Structure 1
């Protein structure tokens, strides 16, 4: 019986910064294969890719094994949800139509008798004011149309270049965890939830707040961590790669 839910975030496929786990995309494929028998739900809480953009007749072939593994997991009976992150917000209809994976900005789910609210977490901290302005610029319909007119190979190369530089610029950013917890606590109350699951800040943890519990799976770059939910309880796990 499929009775376990799994949550991961911030995989950032398409880039391998210093200290990244070697072969982590194939490790993710093995992880997806390993949960087929138990997974009732999989929620990817944003930034699965370092960059994602859809064209009418183009899908990045570098991630074929992963895309196939997601479809196989979906076909096994697992309900899969994908949240937009700050790196991969430009999803079209490829995931829902081709893979059966629902895409959301934010998500409410009932799992194992618990009510959960999911959001990637970009822009929720007060200190992310500059990012909120930049996001509006990047997501402006005209700008997305102009980017679509660039040849896909050039567009992907440009996106990776910008991503590398923004990553370097963000290395000195101080994570103000209390801002995330305050926002999550308010949304637990607003949506009447037991859990609020966030990503974005790359810090794994489970925190008790006034109106419920806040959790984060961490990241899948330097550590292959994820959240496991069984019998209504969340725990943090790390995927162990077999030799």
Structure 2
């Protein structure tokens, strides 16, 4: 019998906005420990961090316990995959080389006899046009090089300030789920998949569409929700062991 697979997204570790679950990174470490040796796959569907940038000799020490828990999960035989989000798209080789977690922009996996397509989901909605342009600017090689010249402490502080500002703007944005579901339905057909897992919009749920099933784990901020896949079925759960 196949082991279950787990999908989470949008933890935005590194910030504690109003309404966030206290010590949610510690809860995430406990969650990873609870599935170690009991999971075939863990896919983090983007925005694990509020901000991520790799320097040649610098990695944020605040997440050491998380790195260790992920490494132990990999050593137990679980495939761990990280998707780039709109907050943590600047991954380098730290996770593949040191932790053993693979990094992707999008991903297709065969799990429990089902073809599953993963994408964070930023830039999907028609209203994300301005963001798509901004992302191109941020991801331009020259701009990435210039940012690398900033001292890591200053760079992290600047990025968190920008992140807080963008979050305040985003709080008033209306989520149009029909746009995400329409796009996901097209991608199911395009990739020959029967399951599509998205993040980004922070809306937890499982939806049936014409070409398969679309699911989102919501976020690991205000509710510690995750998707568990058993025998091809997608189930939305909440991690409650916080003590």
| TM class, shorter-length | over 0.9
Question: In the TM superposition, what are the counterparts of 1:201-216 in structure 2 within 5 Å?
Answer: 201-216=201-216
Note the C-alpha offset of 1:241: 2.0
Note the C-alpha offset of 1:225: 0.1
- Cα contact 1:2–1:38 (8 A) shared by 2: no
Note the C-alpha offset of 1:37: 2.7
Partner of 1:126: 126
Partner of 2:65: 65
Q: Deviations over 1:180-235 (max 9, x none)?
A: 00000000001111101000000000001111110000000000000000111110
Question: In the TM superposition, what are the counterparts of 1:48-59 in structure 2 within 5 Å?
Answer: 48-59=48-59
Q: Deviations over 1:41-79 (max 9, x none)?
A: 000000000000000000000000001100010001100
Q: Does 1:233 align with 2:197?
A: no
Q: For residues 242 and 136 of structure 1, do their structure 2 counterparts lie closer, same or farther at Cα, with a shift above 3 Å needed?
A: closer
Note the C-alpha offset of 1:242: 4.1
- Cα contact 2:2–2:231 (8 A) shared by 1: no
State the alpha-carbon separation in 1 of the partners of residues 214 and 52 from structure 2: 27
- The two structures have a TM-score, normalised by structure 2, of 0.99
> Which structure 1 residue ranges, 5 or more long, are not aligned?
none
Question: In the TM superposition, what are the counterparts of 1:1-243 in structure 2 within 5 Å?
Answer: 3-243=3-243
- Cα contact 1:2–1:37 (8 A) shared by 2: no
> Which structure 2 residue ranges, 5 or more long, are not aligned?
none
State the alpha-carbon separation in 2 of the partners of residues 168 and 161 from structure 1: 11
Aligned residues between the structures: 243
- Cα contact 2:21–2:222 (8 A) shared by 1: yes
State the alpha-carbon separation in 1 of the partners of residues 134 and 15 from structure 2: 21
Note the C-alpha offset of 1:170: 1.1
State the alpha-carbon separation in 2 of the partners of residues 73 and 144 from structure 1: 31
